[in-house]
Amino acid sequence: MKKEIIYSMSGLYRDDFRVTGYRLGKGDGGAEKTCCIIGSLRGNEIQQLYMCGQLVKALSAIEKKGDFAYDREVLVIPSLNSYSTNIGKRFWCLDNTDINRMFPGDPDGETTERIAAGVFGEISQYKFGVQFASFYIPGVFIPHVRMMKTCKENTSLANLFGLPYVVLREPIAMDRTTLNYNWQVSGTAAFSVYTNATETIDEQSAEQGVSAVLRFLSRMGVIKYRCHGGFMGTIIDEDDMMNVKSGGAGIYRQLRDAGDEVRRGDVMAQIVHPYEGRVVSEIVSPADGVVFFAHKKPLITESTLAFKLIKRLHK
């Protein structure tokens, strides 16, 4: 394993900003740039940072055993935003911009554009790219692999992760500056892996996410690794899922979680008046199906996305 600085930038009032990477594999210096794994792009992505650390640990042990295929290289970058992690802030600490909305970057642009450009110049050389991602609304997902529809997506490769679902998303304007989208259009087969937490560590789903990446690398012939076979993932289109929003605001009492089966009319959550304690609104399932995403904050505002539901197509 080789630890190196992928990108650095001088700091005015604190230590220099550095993006650290770990190169693993075998070769004579000309090894194929096979797979790059990215962890935390935002300062509050602690689960994603943790998974990358566990992956570095696992791959280091595999490398020491001599179980990397010859001339195959894996690069793991645990964080692109350590400044914000250090002060508990989600976006870039100086101007509140989102690094994952700055790709492919601009070497002469604003700070986060320069970070994105500096890192992307390196990681776009890899055949496969994996991002441990988080959602813009606080909540939990069924663990899954997600890809943008760019006419270059490959659902067969996504199924090699062995996670329960493969989700396809039609990119909108703001998606065109994300890491996943730009990886794909630059020729890298890119996958975003979602697990059950962001600001906290969920050990069970973190292990599932790490195992999924190791399973993928094993099935692609990069490493020798014996693991559980995982799932034959169900391929779904994000546009086919039902968004279930709150009809009121107040204290959020969640009754159903990601992975639960629900029937039409089931109460999935209640909204409680914060001063009077009475239920002011109920969130009801509009169809039979499976809860794919569930909101997790103790407070909720009106018309907030509370659940994503995979409709059951056959009774």
| Strands 128-132 vs 32-40: parallel, antiparallel or unpaired | parallel
Here the tokens at position 272 are 């409680």
Query: Would you state the pLDDT for residue 10?
Result: 86
Query: Would you state the pLDDT for residue 190?
Result: 97
Rounded to whole angstroms, how far apart are CA atoms 218 and 69? 10
CATH of 2-237, one of 3.40.630.10, 3.30.450.40, 3.40.50.720, 1.20.140.10: 3.40.630.10
Rounded to whole angstroms, how far apart are CA atoms 83 and 16? 10
- The dihedrals phi and psi of 147, each to the nearest 5 degrees, come to -135, 150
Query: Would you state the pLDDT for residue 131?
Result: 98
Per-residue pLDDT of the chain (315 residues; tens, 9 = 90+): 999 999 999 876 678 899 999 999 975 567 899 999 999 999 999 999 999 999 999 999 999 999 999 899 999 999 999 999 998 899 998 899 999 999 999 999 999 999 999 999 999 999 999 999 998 888 999 999 999 999 999 999 999 999 999 999 999 999 999 999 999 999 999 999 999 999 999 999 999 999 999 999 999 999 998 877 788 889 999 999 999 999 999 999 999 999 999 999 999 999 999 999 999 999 999 999 999 999 999 999 999 999 999 998 554
| Strands 189-194 vs 234-237: parallel, antiparallel or unpaired | unpaired
Identify the CA nearest to 219 among candidates 167, 164, 161.
161
Query: Would you state the pLDDT for residue 233?
Result: 86
Here the tokens at position 28 are 């004579």
Name the amino acid, one letter, at 180.
N
Do the first three CATH levels of 2-237 and 241-311 match, i.e. the same topology? no
User: With the C-alpha atoms ordered 185, 40, 161, 146, is the resulting torsion angle positive or negative?
Assistant: negative
Cβ contact 162:231 at 8 Å:
yes
Residue spans per domain, the chain: 2-237, 241-311
Q: Which fold has domain 241-311?
A: OB fold (Dihydrolipoamide Acetyltransferase, E2P) (2.40.50)
